Chains A and B, each alone.
Chain A
């Protein structure tokens, strides 16, 4: 049912590297989200987009940035990764109104 894709699924990189986590959806959803989740913790919203060229930061401060040039694509970039960025990153989208969030499979990021 969920047509939202994240790549890579797993990423292990060294400190200081620039990385981009990809997220694409084929449902034509305007609203897209990035959440960060650590074991035993809630999902924290780090970025939100309500359409092309519109993005907002979420509740959890994040050094990452996002872009929304096309409706279907919502990549997240870390300019200089640090060990504190180690986490699971979850992309989600939804349609208009009161609708469920559809999640991708997530990217498990480890920064050494």
Chain B
């Protein structure tokens, strides 16, 4: 029973265009969501997070949107750059738990 789902294993986008990565969750107790970027054989790097009291958080080229009623969040990267090519993981956590639950990741390829 996967509580955090990333249904698109891969995504290809042209350089300069928008990349949209999606994530769905099932546990209504989750109230904190994060996106990480990961290169092969390296540890994940934090990108951006959002609390459930917000529906949008922006940091430079990265924006995360949260739709609590749909239990859905998305990461927008604008404009996409070749260096953004990596695997992106979304993660979720809830109040009163130490656990961070991760999705299976989406491999983004930005084409020059």
Contact = CB atoms under 8 A, between A and B. Distances in A.
Interface stretch (A13-21, A36-44, A66-74): A36-44
Contacts, number: 61
Interface in A29-53: 31, 33, 35, 39-43, 45, 48, 50
B75 interface: no
8 contacts: A2-B45, A10-B41, A42-B103, A43-B89, A50-B98, A103-B44, A104-B43, A106-B42
Give the size category of B's interface with A.
Answer: 20 to 34
Nearest to B93: A98
Nearest to A4: B43
B43 A90 contact: yes
Contact of A88 (B9, B41, B98, B102): B41
A98 B103 CA distance: 19
Interface of B: 2, 4, 9, 31-32, 34, 36, 40-46, 49, 51, 89, 91, 93, 98-105
Contacts of A48: 98-99
B43 A105 contact: yes
Contacts of B91: 43, 101
A27 to B, nearest CB: 13
A101 B43 CA distance: 11
B105 A103 contact: no
Contacts of A10: 41
Contact of A40 (B9, B43, B49, B99): B9
B109 to A, nearest CB: 15
A72 to B, nearest CB: 17
A94 to B, nearest CB: 8
Contacts of B101: 42
B51 A40 contact: no
Contact of B46 (A35, A41, A45, A102): A102
Contacts of B44: 43, 90, 101, 103
B27 to A, nearest CB: 13
